[in-house]
Structure 1
Amino acid sequence: MPWIQLTVSAPEKHAPNIGDMLEGNGAMAVTYRDAQDNPIFEPPLGELVYWQETLVTGLFPADTNLAPVIKNLKKSSYFKDGFNYKTDQLEDKDWEREWMDNFHPIQFGKRLWVCPSWRDIPDPNAVNIMLDPGMAFGTGTHPTTALCLGWLDGQDLTAKTVVDFGCGSGILAIGALLLGAKRAVGIDIDKQALIASMENAERNGVAEQLEVYLPSNQPTLKADVVVANILAGPLQELADIITNYVAEGGELVMSGILERQIPAVQAAYEEQFEFSPAQVKDDWVMLHAKRRR
């Protein structure tokens, strides 16, 4: 189906209202991005942050007459300093096919691959995680997930217990089990993430070794390895909870951290952990630490 998009330049404080107006005028979807292309890496917990000048884009079916929409927006008091907009036609493509064509098996470290179902497995003798990309949960393409998978690939996980804190798709827990871990526990605030994790574990033949929990009923245990690929803010706020999962002499791997955030994250854990040098990929950081005995 062909589409047309209307992009409006808006003061940051009015961006959500203008987004609501676009939806009220028939937009099928609304997105927000910085007019200066400055990304927000980590808004405060529970807070939706906008930029000083925001581009609000509404997506409409291509046969939509945008003239009445633009007229309605111009009447709004939100544009006291002028109304700037542009329209673009989007090519009619088979987006699902294009998305599938561009997702290939990816290797992490020496042994580990993540392979989508519609591609041939490059190395049948490797450790292959069968995982299709989805809308919300990780598939290994993000640098933070890649860093964690690469670290797991380099470890001897035989008979170990692993906690995947913020499990998402379950990719890290599943990878750990396929690499030899005896038991994995996935914890996430999103029930859909827990469902996705178990479905992916079933597909990879490790469902009997994986347990998943919401934070409200998370278990009491001590793990040999804890992997927390979330964000710097939650890593600091949840430091006590995450630390309690790590056995004495156990290992903690944290990602979702920017280079400038390293000191703050380390400060939340350094009393009980000894840190290795940070690993960096595309401005994102993975921290590895061992809990003191």
Structure 2
Amino acid sequence: MNPAQPGVEILIAELGYAGFESFVETEEGVTAYIQKEDWNTNILDDIQVLNSEEFNITYTFEEIEQTNWNAEWEKNFNPIVVDNICAVRAPFHDKFDTEFDIIIEPKMSFGTGHHETTHMMIQHILKNDFTNKSVLDMGCGTGVLAILSEMKGANRVDAIDYDNWCYLNSLENVQRNNCKTITVIEGDASVLRNKRYDIIIANINRNILLNDMEVYVSCLNKNGMLFLSGFYEEDIPIIKTKCEKHLLKFEEKLERNNWVSLKFLN
């Protein structure tokens, strides 16, 4: 891509609108990921920057085979400590002298704490009162946020993900951390009918958050807290507008490498 800036930022924004879920900036430009079932060759037709005379952009695409990531992860994964309070580590790492110690094996799942969005969500959980609260971890990935919610005192936690790998991995990690109050559910926002929560955690991506916001709000108890992440600084206006439309009050923003996480109150 030439020029790289602001080309990369524009391209990421447009790909996000088109349904791409995650991005890795490289020396050449950006690698973007989308679920196989959401991909078709025509999806790039609406990406205006690809046809702009201001930028010279070439691209290729390939299908990534399902892989058991354990071996690769063990070779490269280092434990993390968030705010000197919460450690996220693998079973083969030594225990940390922290208040909260979470053991995770991600396999095909997202959410080891290394990604900026998961890191910020952990910070939110650490800073807020979860005692005797009912909690929804939407798009739970490895289940790390659900596990920390229980450790923080939540008395009922639903961990939901539509991806079967994430569902199975969360079940394993919940058992690995001896959790008692977490129910892992395979599905999307449609499974939330008639459910109510004091706290909702949704670390997904901007498009899904916007699409499912009405469902989240319908499930959130009065004076409840909503934590959102999975989007960029430039996405904040559209996220805030959607939340304020449903009478949610903006409370706090965390930022990490242009990724953001927002807290709203009902």
* Superposition TM-score, scaled by structure 2 size: 0.74
RMSD: 3.0
Q: Residues 106 and 35 of structure 1: is their aligned pair in 2 closer, same or farther, counting only changes over 3 Å?
A: closer
Where does residue 94 of structure 2 map in the other structure?
A: 120
1:163 aligns to 2:136 (yes or no): yes
Q: Residues 99 and 239 of structure 1: is their aligned pair in 2 closer, same or farther, counting only changes over 3 Å?
A: closer
Distance in structure 2 (CA, Å) of the matches to 1:161 and 1:177: 10
Q: Which one has a larger percent strand, Structure 1 or Structure 2?
A: 1
Q: How far has the Cα of 1:110 moved from its partner?
A: 4.0
Distance in structure 1 (CA, Å) of the matches to 2:235 and 2:99: 35
Q: How far has the Cα of 1:116 moved from its partner?
A: 0.6
Do the aligned residues in 1 keep the contact of 2:142 with 2:166 (CA within 8 Å)? yes
Q: Give the structure with higher Rg (CA).
A: 1
Q: How far has the Cα of 1:133 moved from its partner?
A: 3.5
Q: Which moved more, 1:235-244 or 1:104-113?
A: 104-113
Do the aligned residues in 1 keep the contact of 2:198 with 2:220 (CA within 8 Å)? yes
Where does residue 145 of structure 1 map in the other structure?
A: 118
* Stretches of 4+ aligned residues off by more than 6 angstroms: 95-98
1:238 aligns to 2:243 (yes or no): no
User: Once the two structures are superposed, what CA deviation does each residue of 1:150-183 show, in whole Å capped at 9, x if it has no partner?
Assistant: 1101122111111011111111111101121111
SS of 1:267's partner is helix
Equivalent residues, number: 223
User: Once the two structures are superposed, what CA deviation does each residue of 1:8-67 show, in whole Å capped at 9, x if it has no partner?
Assistant: xxxxxxxxxxxxxxxxxxxxxxxxx98941344789x934556641246899xxxxxxxx
> Counterparts in 2 of 1:203-218, with a 5 A limit?
203-215=176-188, 216-218=190-192
Unpaired runs of at least 5, structure 1: 1-32, 60-94
Distance in structure 2 (CA, Å) of the matches to 1:213 and 1:96: 22
* Superposition TM-score, scaled by structure 1 size: 0.68
Q: How far has the Cα of 1:100 moved from its partner?
A: 2.1
Unpaired runs of at least 5, structure 2: 1-24, 45-49, 51-56
Distance in structure 2 (CA, Å) of the matches to 1:96 and 1:234: 28
| Identical-pair percentage | 27
Q: Which one has a larger percent helix, Structure 1 or Structure 2?
A: 2
Q: Residues 179 and 98 of structure 1: is their aligned pair in 2 closer, same or farther, counting only changes over 3 Å?
A: same
Q: How far has the Cα of 1:145 moved from its partner?
A: 0.5
